[in-house]
Amino acid sequence: MTDLSDERMALISILAEHSPANRIGRTQVMKFLYFLQVLRDVPLGYRFTLYSYGPFDSDVLADLANAEGLGVVDSTVIQFSGGYGYEIRPGRNADWLRERAARFLQRYRPDVDWVMEKFGSLKSGHLELVSTIVYVDREAADNGEELSLDEIAEIVHEIKPHFSHDEIMNFARWLNGQDLLEAAA
Amino acid sequence: MSDVHRTYEIRCPIHGFVALNDWEWNVISQPAFQRLRRIRQLAWTDYVYPGAMHTRFEHSLGVMHVATLLYRAIVKNSKSILTSELAYNDTGLERDLQLVRFAALLHDVGHGPFSHASEDLMPIGEGGKRYAHADYSVAIIRSELRQAIEEHPLNDNYRFQAEDVAALIAGGARRSKHSVFWRDVIDGQMDADRMDYLLRDSYHAGVQYGKFDLHRLVSTIRAVSYDDRAPRFGIAQGGVHAAEALVLARYFMFTQVYFHKTRVAYDIHLRGALKELLPAGHFPRPVDGELQEFLAWDDWRVLGLLSEGKGGEHGARLKTRDHYRLVFWTPEVPHENDLRQLELLKGRLGGLVVAEEAASKSWYKTGPTDIPVVDDLDETIVNPLSDHSNVVKNLESNNQVLLYARHEDVPKAEGIVEEVRENDRSK
């Protein structure tokens, strides 16, 4: 476990509790933590890189597995037509770990609320898309590039061709309107 | 001029022959890649399993071979998804096979001496995160190997830039585009790296723990698309038990070999010795002006310095096989009470504990990377491997904590451990 593992596991239980449905899926955990680290500068220490399903760090799932093992969260598989998902809820030992990470959780609680307000209602497929837009934007910003929204959407479309250019543009415009993109001209 | 269409075969104890084209042959001939002959795959594991003397060089070739098997199987089994959802055509698929082969071949080129064992000596980079070997791999591809990748005549057919290979390893969005789909071959739950190292490490260590049915698994792998999500790697239902075996092989190899108590002790001593040997106590950064110095560090150099008596107390322990001894360990899956006992013991043992190591590993990650399994009778039904397999579902992560003492302090430390355990039992 990393030095931050208590804080990260406790944060996952908070995300589950404060999501609109009081439970959360695994894609949501991954993407919400990505947004917290990248858009809110919460120091989580993850190393997200891009996969076809968006920004991903296997350490998030390792933290989640550890949290399950310690009873900090409970996780069950749910079936739906044409696929499956997970429901994660706070576990019997969530409070125990939250006490150990109390200072961290208190400090970043407003950021959790912010992420929930902005992204809490998005479905998994759209979370993958929105986080990929942010990833493309930050990669360009880190390289000192300025891109138009259309250029960002075109890059994202090449990564995720199953989304239409228009659909990507809609989310890119929304993110830009929220002042969340850095490279967008 | 040499024949650019010539192919080569290299003997491999795991896969028989690994085939290379002239372009790949040129890349592996570069000093930065040849250096991997002088980087042992499993550090000082040979102090426990004497056969484990193999190197990153042969592993890297093996990963390229397995990546090719996986790539071809997915194209064979899932061409319609690749063409309809990722916009591939035959030319694109041929191009990306070469890209994936290079990424697989070079993903470990940035390892430091003794591989993972020295990774904690990599410096902290921008943003406060420690560099990892993949950061060095990417930097080496962009600099030392750039010319070999970009200027071979065969590249006139592909027009690759070294950056394309780097992007597939690092997850670069701008260059990877739809090729990002193949990142799971390089770094995922069923990646070529894992499939090769389990078989190879098992073979060289002389154990059977890492074995699984590679060819059955490969034959069932496919791209799976469901729920308006991006296509990802999955398997046909017939591959469930082969995938289970891969997960279990990893569990057994970690618990029996990689986390072996004495092997872990030698990682401690290697890190301690390297802190003494490295200027500033850590490796140079993977940046211009420092990368060359990093590349000068390999096992030979470290062994030479140790042989000269350098490396301080830890260097001497490595040289004389006088390792720290394990005096306390939690269960592999510790619960609240175990962690409380650990904290109590650490307080009681005080300075007798010279090292605390965490043997942490998640055997199988559910969630976005849970391997999707496609129903044999109805391809629209997709369920995760963790749902098909009780074994996989119930394998909890390893979070064992190990406490070590000096050889001479073992009786005293063990006395305190027994006292604390006895107190706990009597409560």
| Contact between B230 and A160 using a beta-carbon 8 Å cutoff | yes
> Which residue in the block uniquely carries the two structure tokens 């069950």?
A76
- pLDDT at residue B129 greater than cutoff 50: yes
| Contact between B336 and A93 using a beta-carbon 8 Å cutoff | yes
pLDDT score for B20: 98
Chain A CB contacts of B358 below 8 Å? 1
- pLDDT at residue B88 greater than cutoff 60: yes
Give contacts of A 76-105 with B, CB under 8 A: 77, 79-80, 82-84, 86, 93, 96
Task: Provide mean pLDDT across the span A19-48.
Answer: 90
- pLDDT at residue B222 greater than cutoff 60: yes
Q: For residue B382, what is the nearest residue in chain A, using CA coordinates?
A: A83
Task: Provide mean pLDDT across the span B122-140.
Answer: 91
Do A28 and A127 contact (CB within 8 A), yes or no?
Answer: yes
- Percent of chain B clearing pLDDT 70 (strictly above): 99
Higher pLDDT among residues A95 and B378, named by residue: A95
* A155-168 residue pLDDT tens: 999 888 888 999 99
Q: Which of B132, B180, B366 sits opposite A159 (nearest CB)?
A: B180
| Contact between A82 and B382 using a beta-carbon 8 Å cutoff | yes
- pLDDT at residue B225 greater than cutoff 70: yes
Write out the residue range of the structural domain in which residue B98 sits: 1-109+145-259
Chain B CB contacts of A68 below 8 Å? 396
| Contact between A139 and B368 using a beta-carbon 8 Å cutoff | no
- Interface probe with B: pick from A46, A127, A135, A159, most Cβ of B within 10 Å: A159
pLDDT band with cut points at 50, 70 and 90 for residue A134: very high
* B259-314 residue pLDDT tens: 999 999 999 999 999 999 999 999 999 999 999 999 999 999 999 999 999 999 99
Residue B372: name the closest of A79, A175, A156 by CA.
A79
Longest dimension (CA), chain B: 81
Chain A CB contacts of B89 below 8 Å? none
Write down the pTM of the prediction.
0.89
Bridge pairing between strands A83-90 and B382-384: unpaired
Which amino acid would we find at residue B305?
L
Output the average pLDDT for chain B: 94
- pLDDT at residue A81 greater than cutoff 70: no
- As for how many domains chain B has, the answer is 1
Q: For residue A3, what is the nearest residue in chain B, using CA coordinates?
A: B358
Domain membership flag for residue B17: yes
Domain membership flag for residue B171: yes
Most confident segment among A58-62, A169-173, B420-424:
A169-173
- Interface probe with A: pick from B396, B397, B399, most Cβ of A within 10 Å: B397
The SS3 call for residue A180 is coil
* A12-30 residue pLDDT tens: 999 988 877 777 888 899 9
Task: Provide mean pLDDT across the span B95-104.
Answer: 97
Q: What element of type H or E holds A104?
A: helix A102-119
- Interface probe with B: pick from A9, A33, A38, A84, most Cβ of B within 10 Å: A84
Domain membership flag for residue B95: yes
- pLDDT at residue B353 greater than cutoff 70: yes
| Contact between A161 and B381 using a beta-carbon 8 Å cutoff | no
> Which residue in the block uniquely carries the two structure tokens 């060289």?
B204
Kindly report which listed range (B61-70, B155-164, B378-387) carries the lowest average pLDDT score.
B378-387
What is the domain-level CATH number for residue B67?
Answer: 1.10.3210.10
Give contacts of B 339-378 with A, CB under 8 A: 358, 360-362, 365-370
How buried is B338 (Cβ within 10 angstroms: 0-12 exposed, 13-18 middle, 19+ buried)? middle
How buried is B321 (Cβ within 10 angstroms: 0-12 exposed, 13-18 middle, 19+ buried)? exposed
**ipTM of predicted complex:** 0.74
- pLDDT at residue A2 greater than cutoff 60: no
In B259-332, alpha helices (H): 261-277, 291-295, 299-307, 312-320
pLDDT band with cut points at 50, 70 and 90 for residue A137: very high
Task: Provide mean pLDDT across the span B385-391.
Answer: 88
Q: What does the alpha-carbon distance between residue B44 and residue B38 come to, in Å, rounded to a whole number? A: 13
Domain ranges for chain A, please list them. Answer: 5-177
- pLDDT at residue B255 greater than cutoff 80: yes
Residue B405: name the closest of B342, B347, B353, B345 by CA.
B353
Q: What does the alpha-carbon distance between residue B424 and residue B418 come to, in Å, rounded to a whole number? A: 10
pLDDT band with cut points at 50, 70 and 90 for residue A3: low
pLDDT score for A83: 63
pLDDT score for A128: 92
Partner B contacted by A158 (CB < 8 A):
yes
Kindly report which listed range (A45-49, B203-207, B227-231, B348-352) carries the lowest average pLDDT score.
B227-231
* Phi, psi dihedral angles at A90 (to 5 degrees): -60, 140
Task: Provide mean pLDDT across the span B206-231.
Answer: 91
Q: What is the distance, to the nearest Å, from the Cα of residue A155 to the centroid of all Cα atoms in its chain? A: 20
Q: What does the alpha-carbon distance between residue B381 and residue B226 come to, in Å, rounded to a whole number? A: 9
pLDDT band with cut points at 50, 70 and 90 for residue A1: very low
